[in-house]
Structure 1
Amino acid sequence: MHVLALTTNDDAPFMNEQMRLLERRGVSFSTLSVSGDGRAGHSRGPTDYLRFFPSVLRESTNGYDLIHAHYGLTAPMGLAQCRKPVVLSLWGSDLYGPIEPISRACVPICDEVVVMSEEMREYLGRECTVVPDGVDLEKFHPGPRRDAREAVGWAGDEYQVLFPYTPKRTVKNYPRARRIVNAVNGLVDRPVRLRTVYDVDHETIPDYMNAADALLMTSDSEGSPNSVKEALACNLPVVATDVGDVRTRLEGVSPSCVSDDDEDLVDGLREILERGERSNGREAAREVSLDNTATRMLEVYERVV
């Protein structure tokens, strides 16, 4: 099976890891990415997307079995070729953010729509397939905290709280994370350091997960956040707002905390730091392993073709 993948971010680790697993099962990919800088704090202009149309139209004639449009903004280009079936994967911000109208307009025309969580399916209000992005359990696994802290250069006499996003992404709500850590800082016996980690090699993220005492996610909206699943795979306790499929992913995981109330988040983070224990999250992460999610995506491809 030959698939043309359209994306706004060809560096997305979860997308590339899924394609790598599918390639082992006989799927070949060519990837086209919208030109320009789409990183947080930057924005592409309409001309970047207009230039993407002819490149998709030309490439789509080269014997592909289907088009996989990753993210709602690539769906119009995928649908414009009118020859091959189109699978649309919605990532979260394309359904909950300002481009929601574009995504919703394209959904009925696509041959199959994939979302990351049951919550996204309910919000979309249409029949679709739920396939969370998978986590690589070989890459993300528990490791000695002391070794990990040496690898990332963090002090061993502080509580380390990981915030794996750039503060520039407003949907991640960094100011709220800062408030929560500041509140906890006066309640525990050691200094609490909030560590923002972004724009680093994805291969190093397991070191940060194993070096931290907790993952803090304060997002206003999410689909199925990869950082939570990666933390689970490393048995890193998670404190998070109740967005996307976070509550589902953390069901039965201890210690962990899910709430939209700041006092609950403060209490939850304080308790986790004082307990000083790792979670049992790895067992929960097996449900969303790369192998499992790649199998489900391959079933979508086969159904569409």
Structure 2
Amino acid sequence: MTVPVCRVAMISLHTSPLAQPGTGDAGGLNVYVLETARRLARRGIEVEIFTRTTASAQEPLAVPEPGLNIRHIVAGPFEGLQKLDLPGQLCAFAAGVMREGARRPEGHFDVIHSHYWLSGQVGWLAADRWHVPLVHTMHTMARVKNAHLGEGDSPEPPGREIGEVQVVEAADALVANTAQEARELIELYAADPAKIEIVTPGVDLEVFAPGDRAAARETVGLAADDVLLLFVGRIQPLKAPDVVVKAAARLVRADPDLAGRLRVVILGGASGNGAGHPEALRDLADGLGLGERVVFTPPTSRALLAQWYRAADVVVVPSYSESFGLVAIEACACGTPVVAADVGGLPDAVGPGGVLVRGHDPGVWAGVLADLLADPARRAELGRRGAQHAQNFGWETTVDRLIAVYERAMVEHAPVPFDAQQTPAGAPTAVQP
């Protein structure tokens, strides 16, 4: 038996789906939430996303397209609030969500889908109040990140670990990006395997697709013979952009002919621990003698990002931890080979479209990159195979699986009546006259 899902409440507390990916705390989670919500709405399923107000100019309600509402909830200062400060705003945010829910008739939402542990804490409360199932996606996990800390990174606080354990226990269904993440939920958080559904994230195959490389290079201002290593993502220790810079320095020292043609583009903004030292990566590049060979470019539109992918010789993803790796699958979809760390979900994202590297030794990375840059035929073959691989990861496939998860959770969710919840075990129940 299936029950059709008509209305979904999504909760994305710590970052708005409308924020530019690559800035602040915005990244793959934002892309995931917005892309899935849009496609659910286009299928006639109403979606309301609850997120925190982060600017005084933000309207309380944004409607990107019919059937999709983004509700901004006031909780704490609009600007300047760091992610580590957000647990202190859980009560204020939850109260705002509860007020919005009270304006709707009983049973308005069919399911809640929370993203990241902070949202899960609020989703847990809302699901209990609205008597609907809670579906939760972790996106990242403290115990995984703490086991793979980057150089100069700080561990996630114990409070986050406790909060994640609570959400894992409370959720009716847990959406894991990959089989690896499903194992981590079971092994590190004692998650019930029966709750876990593997739903791989997607890529917009209309935007990210192979194209004219020469035209792409002209668009982004590269010469025909430039050799481009591209890093896309937030500049923070977790993403390890320093590995790209250090490896590039070794490439230049080993091959003087490459020195005049190599370009390393860091496309993203400072975030997390990296925000405290925004010039650290530039200082590193200068100290290694790379100078103007390393170019810092702010986050950009998806259309221009696709041009950067097409223009690159190699896209480098050296992260210490990734639940999936949207950058890797976007690059693959554009037909560009990827060199990525062999961690988390990156093996699934890269597939046959690149090379996986164990560890973060810049010397090892330099060797892998040198071999690939010296072999145009291999790069072309990896790009072709990667583009084919990406065809299996369209967002429509992701949404197909999410709808199935929602419908299953709705069928299996059996909320305990309020009176029964208040009756202590073994106590007599009231007898109707």
TM normalised by structure 1 equals 0.91
Letter in 1 for 2:8: V
Any conservation in 1 of the 2:8–2:113 contact (CA below 8 Å)?
yes
Query: 2:247 matched to 1:180?
Result: yes
Counterpart of 1:206?
306
Any conservation in 2 of the 1:14–1:135 contact (CA below 8 Å)?
no
Q: 2-side partners of 1:64 and 1:239: how far apart?
A: 43
Q: 1-side partners of 2:80 and 2:184: how far apart?
A: 25
Per-residue CA deviations over 1:160-182 (Å, capped at 9, x if unaligned) read: 11110232x22101222211121
Distance 1:150 1:100, change over 3 A: farther
Distance 1:78 1:103, change over 3 A: same
- Tell me which of 72, 85, 92 is aligned to 2:140: 92
Query: 2:50 matched to 1:32?
Result: yes
Q: 2-side partners of 1:177 and 1:68: how far apart?
A: 36
- Tell me which of 161, 177, 193 is aligned to 2:229: 161
Distance 1:275 1:41, change over 3 A: farther
SS of the residue corresponding to residue 344 of structure 2 reads coil
SS of the residue corresponding to residue 351 of structure 2 reads coil
In the TM superposition, 1:58-97 aligns within 5 A as 58-61=99-102, 62=104, 63-81=108-126, 82=128, 83=130, 84-93=132-141, 96-97=144-145
Distance 1:268 1:303, change over 3 A: same
Query: 2:325 matched to 1:225?
Result: yes
Q: 2-side partners of 1:75 and 1:149: how far apart?
A: 42
Q: 1-side partners of 2:214 and 2:161: how far apart?
A: 44
- Deviation, structure 1 residue 18: 1.5
- Deviation, structure 1 residue 20: 1.4
User: What is the total number of aligned residue pairs between the two structures?
Assistant: 303
Distance 1:251 1:225, change over 3 A: closer
SS of the residue corresponding to residue 224 of structure 1 reads coil
> Structure 1 stretch 54-63 or stretch 112-121: which is displaced more?
54-63
Counterpart of 2:408?
303
SS of the residue corresponding to residue 206 of structure 2 reads coil
- Tell me which of 284, 290, 295 is aligned to 2:389: 284
> Structure 1 stretch 186-195 or stretch 203-212: which is displaced more?
186-195
Any conservation in 2 of the 1:93–1:221 contact (CA below 8 Å)?
no
- Deviation, structure 1 residue 207: 0.8
Identity of aligned residues (%): 25
Any conservation in 1 of the 2:324–2:348 contact (CA below 8 Å)?
no
Q: CA RMSD in A?
A: 2.3
Letter in 2 for 1:284: H
SS of the residue corresponding to residue 370 of structure 2 reads helix
Any conservation in 2 of the 1:215–1:237 contact (CA below 8 Å)?
yes
Counterpart of 2:366?
266
Any conservation in 2 of the 1:34–1:48 contact (CA below 8 Å)?
no
Counterpart of 1:234?
334
Counterpart of 2:355?
256
| Structure 2 unaligned regions, length at least 5 | 1-5, 19-29, 56-77, 146-155, 269-298, 411-433
Q: 2-side partners of 1:229 and 1:95: how far apart?
A: 25
Larger radius of gyration: 2
Q: 2-side partners of 1:163 and 1:233: how far apart?
A: 16
Q: 2-side partners of 1:132 and 1:233: how far apart?
A: 15
